[in-house]
Amino acid sequence: MSEPQQAPHPPAAPATSLGGPELIGQSTAIRQLREAIHHVADSRSTVLIAGEDGTGTELVARAIHDLSMRRDGPFVSVHCAAIPEDLIATEWFGQEPGAFTDARTSRNGRFELADGGTLFLDEMADLSFRSQSILLRVLEEREFTRVGGACPVRVDVRLIGATHVDVEDAIREGRFREDLFSRLNVVPLPVPPLRERSEDIPLLVRHFLARHGNITSPEKSIDADALDRLVQYDWPGNVREMENLVKHLVTLSDRPVIHAADLPANLDIRTRPRALAQSVWMGSSSLTEAVDAFERGLITEALQRTAHVQTRAARLLGITRRILKYKMDTLGIPVARPRSRSRRLKAA
Ligand SMILES: Nc1ncnc2c1ncn2[C@@H]1O[C@H](COP(=O)(O)OP(=O)(O)OP(=O)(O)O)[C@@H](O)[C@H]1O
Ligand SMILES: [Mg+2]
């Protein structure tokens, strides 16, 4: 058997008082998550981390590994959705020479690479039914054979899964095997989307400003206005989207402070529904006023995007020019002259 090769993974994140990678946040949800991580770290159960894309599911998996007794063993990550079904056995269990016509050497699979440590099955609910059956068989028999091999291999691996879909829904819809789910003895660990823990946003923004500052792009600060807009935004891509945005701002802006004007314009359009809903809950506007304000915002933005050419703005909004004109009149949106072609080209 050849020497196992460690799967490449990024360097460990700095430790917190918990001893795991840094999981920033002071919201109740994140505090509870930290407690749950601590709780499950040393159990043998399979943890199933459930969160939308970009919420930090892999970070949570690493935190569990780093806090567990297995911390000195490997953490091996497998992106289940990325492996073609006919390669899954080779990827998981490795191969012996001659397994395929071009397989000249033996290769360890992910289960062997993770021996003594943790195997992280990312997007586990995306496994095909056949791959689920293969996984179930390994869990039941507690051993496997390499592709093209004859000797059974036993490993000591703790499984952690992550999913962005509700596995119980997937079971109901017949996409995930119920017997595999019960065999996994799953402890669920939900990671809430960032829009449900907006009090963490300022901490995370500062964390990423510090993380992505460097010699060529020194660390920047952010003013209150800009931060407020980031807090209002609903972050469909969660923490991953925020990290990318902050990295972009640190790299592209040459001023030491980030202002609201430096933020991308599309933040507004996604912020508006939340801010308007807030104004209804706070009693400062009625439903009709909030809906009008939302419509006004969309139409104004469509007009700006199309240099005030109403026919194009109407097409963008999926309505006729006559309805656009009617809405502009009733919502009090002034008619601006279309910008000249050369200015339009510059603006585009
Ligand atoms: N609470 C947090 N504190 C600090 N950094 C975080 C936090 N949550 C996520 N991150 C960072 O955000 C990025 C995305 O996190 P991660 O890769 O764990 O998310 P994911 O749920 O696996 O997302 P993806 O769908 O992008 O794979 C990583 O750089 C991670 O370090
Ligand atoms: Mg991930």
- Is pLDDT above 60 for 18? no
pLDDT at 348: 35
Place of tokens 């005030």: 308
- Is pLDDT above 60 for 21? no
Do 152 and 208 lie in a common domain? no
- Is pLDDT above 80 for 12? no
**At 13, is the pLDDT very low, low, confident or very high (cuts 50, 70, 90)?**
very low
The CATH number of the domain where 54 resides is what? 3.40.50.300
What's at 182, amino acid-wise? Answer: S
Beta strand 152-153 pairing with 144-145: antiparallel
- For residue 314, the CA-to-ligand 1 centroid distance in Å is 39
**At 36, is the pLDDT very low, low, confident or very high (cuts 50, 70, 90)?**
very high
Q: 59 in ligand 1 pocket by Cβ < 6 Å?
A: yes
Q: Give me the chain's average pLDDT, please.
A: 85
- Burial grade of 173 (CB within 10 A; 0-12, 13-18, 19 or more): exposed
Q: Which phi and psi (to 5°) does residue 61 adopt?
A: -60, -40
- For residue 346, the CA-to-ligand 1 centroid distance in Å is 37
Residue 75 DSSP SS3: strand
- For residue 272, the CA-to-ligand 1 centroid distance in Å is 25
- 2 occurs within a structural domain: no
pLDDT at 343: 45
Residue 156 per-residue DSSP state: -
Do 48 and 168 lie in a common domain? yes
- Is pLDDT above 60 for 78? yes
- 11 occurs within a structural domain: no
The CATH number of the domain where 311 resides is what? 1.10.8.60
- For residue 315, the CA-to-ligand 2 centroid distance in Å is 37
- Is pLDDT above 50 for 5? no
How far is residue 245 from each of residues 258, 260, 341, measured CA to CA in Å? 12, 13, 32
* Domain span at 300: 196-347
Mean per-residue pLDDT, 55-77: 96
pLDDT at 240: 96
User: Which residue did the predictor score with more confidence, 21 or 292?
Assistant: 292
- For residue 239, the CA-to-ligand 1 centroid distance in Å is 6
Residues 347/309, Cβ–Cβ less than 8 Å: no
Domain count, the chain: 2
- 68 occurs within a structural domain: yes
Residue 337 DSSP SS3: coil
- 4 occurs within a structural domain: no
Alpha-carbon gap, residue 290 to 272, rounded angstroms:
10
- 12 occurs within a structural domain: no
Of 192, 217, 243, the residue that ends a domain is 192
**At 44, is the pLDDT very low, low, confident or very high (cuts 50, 70, 90)?**
confident
Mean per-residue pLDDT, 319-340: 87
Beta strand 158-163 pairing with 187-190: unpaired
Closest Cα to atom 10 of ligand 1: 56
Q: 243 in ligand 1 pocket by Cβ < 6 Å?
A: yes
Do 86 and 149 lie in a common domain? yes
Q: 47 in ligand 1 pocket by Cβ < 6 Å?
A: no
- For residue 182, the CA-to-ligand 1 centroid distance in Å is 28
Beta strand 187-190 pairing with 47-50: parallel
Closest Cα to atom 25 of ligand 1: 53
Instruction: Name the least confident of 9-18, 98-107, 163-172, 219-228.
Output: 9-18
**At 3, is the pLDDT very low, low, confident or very high (cuts 50, 70, 90)?**
very low
- 13 occurs within a structural domain: no
- Percent of the chain clearing pLDDT 90 (strictly above): 53
Alpha-carbon gap, residue 239 to 228, rounded angstroms:
16
Alpha-carbon gap, residue 148 to 302, rounded angstroms:
60
Tell me how far apart the 2 most distant CA atoms of the chain are, in Å. 79
Mean per-residue pLDDT, 213-228: 85
Do 37 and 73 lie in a common domain? yes
Mean per-residue pLDDT, 190-212: 93
Q: 77 in ligand 1 pocket by Cβ < 6 Å?
A: no
- Pocket test residue of 23, 34, 57, 59 for ligand 1, highest count of atoms within 8 A of CB: 59
Do 92 and 212 lie in a common domain? no
- 248 occurs within a structural domain: yes
- Is pLDDT above 50 for 117? yes
Instruction: Name the least confident of 101-115, 168-182, 261-275, 288-302.
Output: 261-275
- 105 occurs within a structural domain: yes
Of 169, 192, 215, the residue that ends a domain is 192
**At 195, is the pLDDT very low, low, confident or very high (cuts 50, 70, 90)?**
confident
Q: 22 in ligand 1 pocket by Cβ < 6 Å?
A: yes
pLDDT at 100: 64
- Is pLDDT above 50 for 317? yes
- For residue 258, the CA-to-ligand 1 centroid distance in Å is 23
- Is pLDDT above 50 for 34? yes
Q: Which residues surround ligand 2, an ion (CB under 5 A)?
A: 58
Alpha-carbon gap, residue 308 to 336, rounded angstroms:
6
Residue 96 half-sphere exposure toward CB, CA atoms < 13 A: 10
Closest Cα to atom 18 of ligand 1: 56
Alpha-carbon gap, residue 241 to 55, rounded angstroms:
9
Mean per-residue pLDDT, 114-138: 93
- Is pLDDT above 50 for 289? yes
Q: 95 in ligand 1 pocket by Cβ < 6 Å?
A: no
Atom of ligand 1 nearest to the CA of 52: 21
- For residue 72, the CA-to-ligand 2 centroid distance in Å is 22
Do 206 and 181 lie in a common domain? no
Do 253 and 316 lie in a common domain? yes
Q: Which tokens is 54 given?
A: 């970009």
Q: At what angle do helices 321-331 and 310-317 cross, to 10 degrees?
A: 100
Q: 238 in ligand 1 pocket by Cβ < 6 Å?
A: no
Of 143, 176, 192, the residue that ends a domain is 192
Do 175 and 239 lie in a common domain? no
Q: 21 in ligand 1 pocket by Cβ < 6 Å?
A: no
Q: Which ligand is nearest to the CA of 54?
A: 1
Beta strand residue intervals within 1-74, DSSP E: 47-50
